[in-house]
Amino acid sequence: MGRETNKQRRERQAGTAREKAAAARAVQARVDQRRRAKTILSSVIGAAVVIALIAVFAITSGGGKQSAGGNRTDAAASVVSAVTSVEQASLDQVGEGAAQMTAKAINDAPLTKDGKPELFGVLAEFCPYCAAERWPLIVALSKFGTFNDLKTVRSSSTDVDPNTATFSFYKSSYTSKYLAFTPIENEDRTGQPLEDVTDAQKAIWFKYSQGFPFLDFGGKYVVTGPSFSPGDLKDLNWAQISDQLKDPTSKVAQDILGEANVFTAMICKMTNGQPSSVCSASGVTKINLPTQSA
């Protein structure tokens, strides 16, 4: 072969440079592609993390309309108002109503909290009988104090009288100058643990029952079973139930308001008849409470 001319050398070097440049561009293109892919993936992961954090925050802080562990939902203001402000005339007309007397008189040491008589209860969100009892309990307690942050929930879909519309006391509060109310929602709608009882509370609960619902009225009375069938609320939603409370002749009112009067009468025994405007109402005074057996 002859000697490479200057022209040939320049052309060869130019070709090599172009090849190197093309190779470099290809490498850079692959790097840029990987960088873009990583950026997109990071953005997707970041967005997913943000969404997950928002969801967790909403669940743990109660910021959403619906919370985890049983489909608890903020109770509609109209429903809460209807249940917590039942006309006394309607309660007086119903008296004991159709509710069955399931209370039992006891003679335990006075149950107190913060210097006031205490109504202590153990319930469960899945329990249809608890679902029924919460309605009259809220009606009665609203005569002595004020609820905040009540939630609505349905009883278990797989238990008897499934999906009974009710309330949950979970993370609610109650204020009264007459008594303390300590409700424990022991299990959620799916039967999973929700709120624990203390050893002292468990001793009281297990002394009379190991089931739901359980209510202890200051060591004077206990309720260990439903006063009416949750089946009486079948296929009714919260608004429909609360609307029927306005008609004292309805089956729903006869059940709920009748038991509310019984609960009120027992609470009045705890508060020594205070306030008198509540405890002297005819719907309360006509209730024949059980007496302590000898």
- Distance, CA of 270 to CA of 113 (rounded, Å): 12
pLDDT > 90? residue 137: yes
Residue with tokens 């608004």: 239
Nearest to 191 by CA among 87, 287, 70, 77: 70
Instruction: Label residues 212-221 b or e (16+ Cβ within 10 Å = b).
Output: bbbbbbbbbb
pLDDT > 70? residue 87: yes
Amino acid at 293: S
Q: What is the pLDDT of residue 8?
A: 52
Residue-range domain boundaries for the chain: 1-64, 72-285
pLDDT in tens, 63-77: 334 444 568 999 999
Give this prediction's pTM: 0.77
Radius of gyration of the chain (CA): 33
- In the chain, DSSP finds a helix count (H) and a strand count (E) of 9, 12
Q: How confident is the model at residue 292 (pLDDT cuts 50, 70, 90)?
A: confident
Greater confidence (169 vs 4) lies with 169
Q: Cα-flanking dihedrals φ and ψ of residue 168, to 5°?
A: -125, 140
Cβ-based neighbour number of residue 90 at 10 Å:
17
- Distance, CA of 258 to CA of 101 (rounded, Å): 10
